[in-house]
């Protein structure tokens, strides 16, 4: 059982998908907790499910491309080995070529060069040397087709990633519009901004990843195509000369001049008659075929033109109706927003005026408090004065009583 080439015409094994999942898991296990890039990673890679799905597809595509890049080294080594082995082939034919091919290590046996050598040997063993040039050309075209088909999954991934980004944008805008409430514009603005942020972040992430995949795939496909070109050149330089059919040498006696002229005249006449006959037949067939083809093409073109015009008219009418409805809805929304903004502005003006009035009231209250404090101080001073007067009155009363007592005592002594 022959092995397939591992790099140029390979398929995608299940291990590559596992490797892509491992890369995704490693990224989400380390990047969101890495200092310096943590806010960037959490915003663009972890804030929306579509961003996570886009990242999974990106790392799957990178795993496929890394696997193909790893196989390029083995392919180049096989090319060098084949070039070195070709110097020792000498005059050996298919047996020597098969011996040189099978004596190489296992890495060479799974390369595109070994596959090309084995295909050439199988053709020579089965069909002989005739047609080896056409077979080598067929193998080159088949390898190019296989290379193009092997990139079908990568092209699908690079197509799907931007589509996912646009899908995230549509979902984000839809959520933002759904959360927009004209009656509560201030409270709904954060939710609207959050939805728009998620919408544009998914598109930016998808476009960046798609660009990286496209350029990486282009570089690796270019390298694999160059390997196929070298393999084809090797077949032309070394395989084709070895198995080319040698034309047998004809050694007949030369006819005389009269026979030669007669045979040439007969051949010329027969060739001229044959050419005229074929030209007449071919002209008639070409005229009939061209007329029928032109008629069918004219009918098909007219039908397609009518269908295209009708489809364009229908599409234009549908697009115009959709745009009119969208513009009308948008105008209604704008009117609602303007009304809400007007109400909000009026309420804000009224609140501002009330705040000004409250400030003036507070200022008056402050002035009244200062007056009350001054009156309280004056009252305290008056109370202190009254207390002093009372004390003086009590002292005067006490003195008057003492004088009366002394006067009485003095009068008694005088009488005695």
Question: pLDDT of 8-27, one tens digit each?
Answer: 445 556 788 888 888 888 88
Look over the chain and give the mean of its residue pLDDT values, rounded to a whole number.
Answer: 76
pLDDT of 261:
67
Confidence band of 3 (pLDDT split at 50, 70, 90): very low
- pLDDT (tens digit per residue) in 380-391: 888 888 888 888
For the cut 60, the answer to whether the pLDDT of residue 176 exceeds it is yes
Determine the average pLDDT of the residues in 329-352: 84
Range with the lowest mean pLDDT among 49-58, 106-115, 137-146, 155-164? 106-115
Three-state secondary structure string covering the chain: CCCCCCCCCCCCCHHHHHHHHHHHHHHHHHHHHCCCCHHHHHHHHCCCHHHHHHHHHHHHHHHHHHHHHHHHHHHHHHHHHHHHHHCCCCCCCHHHHHHHHHCCCHHHHCCHHHHHHHHHHHHHHHHCCCCHHHHHHHHHHHHHHHHHHHCHHHHHHHHHHHHHHHHHHHHHHHHHHHHCCHHHHHHHHHHHHHHHHHHHHHHHHHHHHHHHHHHHHHHHHHHHHHHHHHHHHHHHHHHHHHHCCCCCCCCCCCCCHHHHHHHHHHHHHHHHHHHHHHHHHHHHHHHHHHHHHHHHHHHHHHHHHHHHHHHHHHHHHHHHHHHHHHHHHHHHHHHHHHHHHHHHHHHHHHHHHHHHHHHHHHHHHHHHHHHHHHHHHHHHHHHHHHHHHHHHHHHHHHHHHHHHHHHHHHHHHHHC
Q: Which of 24-33, 60-69, 113-122, 134-143 has the highest mean pLDDT?
A: 60-69
For the cut 80, the answer to whether the pLDDT of residue 370 exceeds it is yes
For the cut 50, the answer to whether the pLDDT of residue 340 exceeds it is yes
pLDDT of 124:
72
Residues 39 and 216: their CA atoms lie apart, in Å, by 27
Q: Which of 171-175, 248-252, 278-282, 363-367 has the highest mean pLDDT?
A: 363-367
Higher per-residue confidence, 383 vs 94:
383
Higher per-residue confidence, 56 vs 259:
56
Percent of the chain predicted with pLDDT > 70: 71
pTM greater than 0.85 (yes/no): no
The first and second tokens of residue 413, run together, are 């002594």
């Amino acid at each position: 059982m022959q092995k397939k080439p591992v790099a140029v015409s390979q398929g995608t094994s299940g291990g590559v998908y596992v490797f892509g999942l491992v890369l995704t898991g490693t990224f989400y296990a380390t990047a969101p907790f890495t200092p310096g890039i943590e806010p960037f990673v959490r915003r663009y890679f972890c804030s929306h499910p579509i961003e996570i799905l886009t990242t999974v597809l990106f790392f799957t595509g990178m795993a496929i491309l890394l696997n193909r890049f790893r196989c390029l080294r083995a392919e180049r080594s096989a090319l060098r080995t084949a070039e070195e082995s070709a110097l020792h082939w000498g005059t050996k034919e298919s047996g020597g070529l098969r011996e040189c091919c099978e004596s190489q290590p296992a890495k060479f046996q799974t390369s595109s060069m070994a596959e090309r050598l084995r295909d050439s040997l199988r053709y020579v063993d089965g069909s002989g040397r005739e047609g080896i040039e056409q077979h080598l050309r067929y193998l080159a075209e088949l390898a190019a087709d296989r290379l193009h088909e092997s990139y079908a999954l990568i092209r699908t991934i690079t197509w799907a990633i931007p589509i996912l980004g646009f899908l995230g944008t549509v979902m984000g805008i839809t959520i933002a519009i759904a959360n927009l409430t004209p009656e509560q514009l201030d409270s709904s603005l954060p939710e609207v901004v959050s939805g728009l942020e998620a919408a544009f972040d998914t598109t930016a992430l998808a476009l960046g990843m798609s660009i990286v995949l496209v350029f990486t795939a282009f570089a690796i496909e270019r390298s694999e195509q160059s390997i196929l070109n070298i393999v084809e050149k090797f077949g032309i330089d070394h395989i084709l000369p070895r198995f080319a059919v040698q034309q047998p040498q004809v050694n007949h006696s030369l006819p005389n001049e009269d026979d030669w002229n007669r045979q040439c005249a007969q051949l010329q006449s027969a060739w001229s008659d044959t050419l005229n006959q074929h030209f007449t037949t071919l002209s008639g067939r070409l005229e009939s075929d061209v007329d029928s083809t032109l008629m069918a093409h004219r009918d098909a073109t007219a039908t397609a033109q009518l269908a295209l015009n009708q489809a364009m008219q229908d599409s234009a009418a549908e697009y115009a109706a959709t745009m009119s409805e969208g513009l009308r809805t948008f105008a209604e929304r704008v009117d609602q927003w303007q009304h809400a903004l007007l109400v909000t502005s009026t309420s804000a003006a009224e609140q501002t005026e009330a705040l000004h009035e409250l400030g003036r009231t507070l200022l008056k209250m402050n002035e009244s408090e200062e007056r009350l404090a001054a009156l309280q101080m004056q009252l305290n001073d008056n109370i202190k004065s009254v207390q002093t007067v009372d004390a003086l009155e009590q002292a005067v009363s006490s003195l008057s009583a003492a004088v009366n007592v002394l006067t009485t005592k003095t009068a008694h002594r005088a009488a005695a």
